[in-house]
Structure 1
């Protein structure tokens, strides 16, 4: 871990996390960083990308989304659906601007980032239900955005990787029940949380990890999967832990990125291994010196650019395989 990342993560670990968190605290920490500041701290979005905010007419909750589209693009473009991270409690559309803007620019795709509801106001399974409703609507109405539903890749980071894996499984099940239903051609899971029991070797050993200590993990868990309530979901339930799913077959090709200094490292690697055993094409990339969430801090973490290269290459490879007339190629790094 480099010095700049160490300074950033040490500051983040000192932030108080009241339990239960009052509404005033949640409003404050969920507030989007102003874009001029975000460009300096997190990275900028290319001027060639148009950014617009919308609300999907999904039911029972109308899900807000942010759409990134290359300004000079013509014809139906590939579609990338992004699910941001934040431990199911934090995270917002602004925090994903750099990643989504880079993907839209370099893949040549329409990227739609989903603003699912958060715990503790909306514990499991609500964030998944929002992610599922939004992804399903986007696939069924891709032409609304000038996108091709037959060339869709899902991207999920951290908690969003958990939701992305669950949505991918659900889309597989839907296609089995409804042949011809739209689905995915690829999935990109960035240090996903795949087993909420947090009993892996890395989760047990890295109790004082940067960014994501055991104290923080336990706090997130109490907000997202509170126990002792009439409708509580256990952490080992496949509805919240995709690693615990019975069947991982017939899923689209996956890129799984893991960070070496991340308590979720082994869960990400275990999910990649489960996909491989099920016959799913998987590329697994481990960045030994990276911390959890490193793709979201490209100004601080050099490995973010490398991981972005991997995501672009994987997405384009899946999209090229899905069509005889490819319309997207990765731009050179830089």
Structure 2
């Protein structure tokens, strides 16, 4: 592998918290070879006090999805207490002031419509777009947090896995044939999740 041709970081859910912060750190430290992209899937990165003012009105998922399946507001607060997250740390929240987010590499972002933290991803996408960073956002209506791992038999779960392959291809400036992506992802999906 040649990281100069493609160097992407990212992960989903709790591991997804690391991707944007590490992308910021990689830019700040002039990592060589430089990142060519980052994948952001269902991370928590904001609290009401840290949401950019321009987007406070759309950051509603903690209220709208307070009774969400898998992670509701009470569970979300408990998890945040356990994690001990510092929302004002740039390692955790890449939108903390003092950094030009326009220097971040392109991002492929996924958000779940019924996720307590859905709007963290949406706000992140909008801020990147405002800064002229190439960003791809796939939002999935009616599904909970990290749905493709927790509810793998849903049609949307399989679609999201194919979207990840397509998102990575986009981050690598590659074309991907839809049918080949579906066949490869779904074969691996069936092996991984026994569906």
User: TM-score normalized by structure 1?
Assistant: 0.47
CA distance, structure 2, for counterparts of residue 268 and residue 244 of structure 1: 15
1:221 CA displacement = 1.3
1:222 alignment partner in structure 2: 81
Q: Aligned match of 2:9 in 147, 154, 157?
A: 154
Q: Does 1:242 align with 2:86?
A: no
1:170 CA displacement = 0.6
How do residues 35-54 of structure 1 correspond to structure 2 at under 5 angstroms? none
**CA 1:167–1:267 in 2, change beyond 3 Å: closer, same or farther?**
same
1:16 alignment partner in structure 2: none
User: TM-score normalized by structure 2?
Assistant: 0.77
**CA 1:297–1:285 in 2, change beyond 3 Å: closer, same or farther?**
same
CA distance, structure 2, for counterparts of residue 296 and residue 255 of structure 1: 18
Q: Does 1:333 align with 2:186?
A: no
1:245 CA displacement = 4.5
1:298 CA displacement = 5.5
CA distance, structure 2, for counterparts of residue 212 and residue 298 of structure 1: 13
How do residues 1-334 of structure 1 correspond to structure 2 at under 5 angstroms? 147-150=1-4, 151-175=6-30, 181-196=32-47, 200-225=59-84, 234-246=86-98, 247-297=100-150, 299-320=152-173, 331-334=180-183
- The Cα offsets for residues 296-326 of structure 1, whole Å up to 9 and x where unpaired, read as 13633221221122221121233246xxxx9
**CA 1:164–1:261 in 2, change beyond 3 Å: closer, same or farther?**
same
Please tell me whether Structure 1 or Structure 2 has the larger radius of gyration of its CA atoms: 1
- Residues paired across the two proteins, number: 172
CA distance, structure 1, for counterparts of residue 161 and residue 117 of structure 2: 19
1:155 CA displacement = 2.4
**CA 1:208–1:316 in 2, change beyond 3 Å: closer, same or farther?**
same
- The Cα offsets for residues 272-315 of structure 1, whole Å up to 9 and x where unpaired, read as 00111111001111111111011213633221221122221121
- SS of structure 2 residue aligned to 1:216: helix
CA distance, structure 2, for counterparts of residue 282 and residue 165 of structure 1: 13
CA distance, structure 1, for counterparts of residue 8 and residue 177 of structure 2: 14
1:75 alignment partner in structure 2: none
CA distance, structure 2, for counterparts of residue 310 and residue 245 of structure 1: 31
Answer whether contact 1:290 1:301 (CA < 8 A) is retained: no
- The Cα offsets for residues 75-134 of structure 1, whole Å up to 9 and x where unpaired, read as xxxxxxxxxxxxxxxxxxxxxxxxxxxxxxxxxxxxxxxxxxxxxxxxxxxxxxxxxxxx
1:191 CA displacement = 1.9
Larger fraction in helix: 2
Structure 1 gap ranges (5+): 1-146, 226-232
